[in-house]
Amino acid sequence: MTVLEQSGAYHLAPPPAWRPRRDAAPLLPDREPYRLLGTGAELDDDLLRELYGQLVRGRRFNEQATALTKQGRLAVYPSSTGQEAAEVAAALALREQDWLFPSYRDTLAAVARGLDPVAVLSLLRGDWHSGYDPRETRVAPLSTPLATQLPHAVGLAHAARLKGDDVVALAMVGDGGTSEGDFHEALNFAAVWQAPVVFLVQNNGFAISVPLAKQTAAPTLAHKAVGYGMPGRLVDGNDAAAMHHVLTDSVERARRGEGPSLIEAVTYRVEAHTNADDATRYRDAAEVTAWREHDPVNLMERELRTRKLLDDAGVREAAEAAEHMARGLRERMNQDPDLNPADLFDHVFAKRTTQLQQQADQLRAELAASEAEHVRQDGKTGEDA
C-alpha cells in the first residue's frame, strides 16, 4: 500500500516519534510444525531412550488415573493421553532450579519432573487443593482458572531475575486458554520485562467441546507471539524429540537473557475433556482414529526401532517399569487420605482471626457431637443385632 511519488509531492519528515521498530520477520513461526522424528536428524541416543521411557510411563499413568477416577478414587481426571510428548518434554527441558507452571491437565508434566504422583493428584483426588510444596519442588499448583497461571510465571521469572538468580519459568496453557485476557497480559508483561519465561500452548484441538476454528482465526496460535514482540515457534506436539529440542532451545534462550518465547505444540486430546465429558457429542470418532495413527508413544517407538535403539525386549521392559509405577500408584491411591478438618481454618490467614477460631471451635463441637451420636447409635445397633 505504498503511494508512488507523483508531481505535487513534497518532502515531509516522518512522524517524530516514529522509528521503525524491531523487525517482525524473525518472530514469525515456521509454516509447518517443526519435527525431528522421521527426519533422520542427528539426535542424542540417551535422550531418545529417556523420552521413550517417560512416554510409556506417562501413557500408563494417564490410564491408571482414569481407571482410579472410574473407581471413585479421584473426583475428576483431565487426561493428557495423546499429549504425553509435550508433557514429558516440558519436564525434561527444565533444569533443577527452573519452575514449571502447569494447568489442571498437566499432572503428567509434574510427575515426569519427579514429583510424588499422589501429591500431584491431591487436587483431583479432592483431599486438598494442592498437595506439594511449590518452593521445594519448583512446580506451581495445578491451575484451574484458565490462563491465570501465566502472569504468575512471568512475575516469578522476573523476580528471580531481579534477584540475579538463574531461573527460567515454563508455563503451560491450552488452546482455549489463549483466548483469555490473562494470556494477553502475561505475554505482554513478559516481553516488556524481557522475563525468562517460555509459554507452551498445547493446541489439542479443543476447549472441552469447542474446536480451534471457533476459538481463533489466527494463522496459527504461534503467530500471536509477533504482537508481543517475541518469537513464535510451531512444533509437532506429538514428536517428543522436536518438543524437547524446541523447548530446550527456548528455555536456554530465556536463560541467556534473550527474553520470552511462545511455542504452539500441535497435538490432540485423544480422550474426552475429563471423565465427566461425552466427546461423542461434538466430534467424530474418525478424527480420533486418525490421530491415534500419530500417537506420540508409537512415533517414538518407531524412531527408536529405526535407529536400532529398541527391540521387543526393550519395549517389554519399558512396559513393565510402567506397570510397576501404576501398581504403586494404585495401592497408594486406594488408601483413604488422612483428613484433618482443622486444616480448613489454619491457612486462610497466617493467624486465625477471632471469627475463624470461633468457627473452628464450632466445627470441633459439631464433630464431637456427631461422633457421640454415632457411638450411641452403633451401641444401639449392636444391641439390636
Partner 1 sequence: MSTATGTSVGTGEAGAQPPRGTARKPATMAQALNRALRDALAEDADVHIFGEDVGALGGVFRVTDGLAAEFGEKRVTDTPLAEAGILGTAVGMAMYGLRPVVEMQFDAFAYPGFEQLISHISRMRNRTRGALPMPITVRVPYGGGIGGVEHHSDSSEAYYMATPGLHVVTPATVADAYGLLRHSIASDDPVIFLEPKRLYWGKDDWSADRPEAVPEVGRALVRRPGTSATLITYGPSLPVCLEAAEAAARDEGWDLEVVDLRSLVPFDEETVVASVRRTGRAVVVHESTGFAGPGAELAARVSERCFHHLEAPVLRVSGFDIPYPPPMLERHHLPDVDRVLDAVSRLQWESEWRSDRGEVR
Ligand X SMILES: Cc1ncc(C[n+]2csc(CCOP(=O)(O)OP(=O)(O)O)c2C)c(N)n1
Where in 307-336 is the site for its own copies (CB under 8 A)?
A: 307
Binding part of the chain for partner 1, among 63-71, 120-128, 259-267, 374-382 by CB under 8 A, reads 120-128
15 sits near its own copies (criterion: CB under 8 A): yes
Of the candidates 50, 116, 180, 252, which one interacts with partner 1 according to CB under 8 A?
Answer: 180
What is the SS3 string spanning the chain? Answer: CCCCCCCCCCCCCCCCCCCCCCCCHHHCCCCCCECCCCCCCCCCHHHHHHHHHHHHHHHHHHHHHHHHHHCCCCCCCCCCCCCHHHHHHHHHCCCCCCEEECECCCHHHHHHCCCCHHHHCHHHHCCCCCCCCHHHHCECCCECCCCCHHHHHHHHHHHHHHCCCCCCEEEEEECHHHHCHHHHHHHHHHHHHCCCEEEEEEECCEECCEEHHHHCCCCCHHHHHHHHCCCEEEEECCCHHHHHHHHHHHHHHHHCCCCCEEEEEECCCCCCCCCCCCHHHCCCHHHHHHHHCCCHHHHHHHHHHHCCCCCHHHHHHHHHHHHHHHHHHHHHHCCCCCCCCCHHHHCCCCCCCHHHHHHHHHHHHHHHHHHHHHHHHHHHHHHHC
Q: Which is nearer to its own copies, 55 or 111 (CB)?
A: 55
41 sits near its own copies (criterion: CB under 8 A): yes
Question: Taking CB within 5 to 8 Å according to partner kind, which of its own copies, ligand X, Mg ion, none is near residue 192?
Answer: its own copies
Of the candidates 32, 311, 343, 346, which one interacts with its own copies according to CB under 8 A?
Answer: 32
Longest dimension (CA), the chain: 111
Restricted to residues 64-93, the positions that interact with partner 1 (CB under 8 A) are: 75-76
Cβ(29)–Cβ(234) under 8 Å?
Answer: yes
Binding part of the chain for ligand X, among 26-34, 172-180, 254-262, 365-373 by CB under 6 A, reads 172-180
Binding part of the chain for partner 1, among 8-16, 35-43, 80-88, 205-213 by CB under 8 A, reads 205-213
176 sits near partner 1 (criterion: CB under 8 A): yes
Site string for its own copies, 260-299 (x = CB under 8 A): ------xxx------------------x--xx-xx----x
Least distance from its own copies to the Cβ atom of residue 269, Å: 10
Give the active site residues.
269, 273, 282
Least distance from Mg ion to the Cβ atom of residue 202, Å: 7
Q: Which is nearer to its own copies, 103 or 178 (CB)?
A: 178
Question: Taking CB within 5 to 8 Å according to partner kind, which of Mg ion, its own copies, ligand X, none is near residue 109?
Answer: none
Name the residue with the smallest CB distance to Mg ion.
174
116 sits near partner 1 (criterion: CB under 8 A): no
Question: Taking CB within 5 to 8 Å according to partner kind, which of its own copies, ligand X, partner 1, none is near residue 140?
Answer: partner 1
Q: Which is nearer to ligand X, 284 or 320 (CB)?
A: 284
Per-residue CA distances from 179 to 146, 188, 221 (Å): 9, 14, 10
Restricted to residues 206-245, the positions that interact with partner 1 (CB under 8 A) are: 207-210, 214-216
Of the candidates 24, 159, 372, 375, which one interacts with partner 1 according to CB under 8 A?
Answer: 159
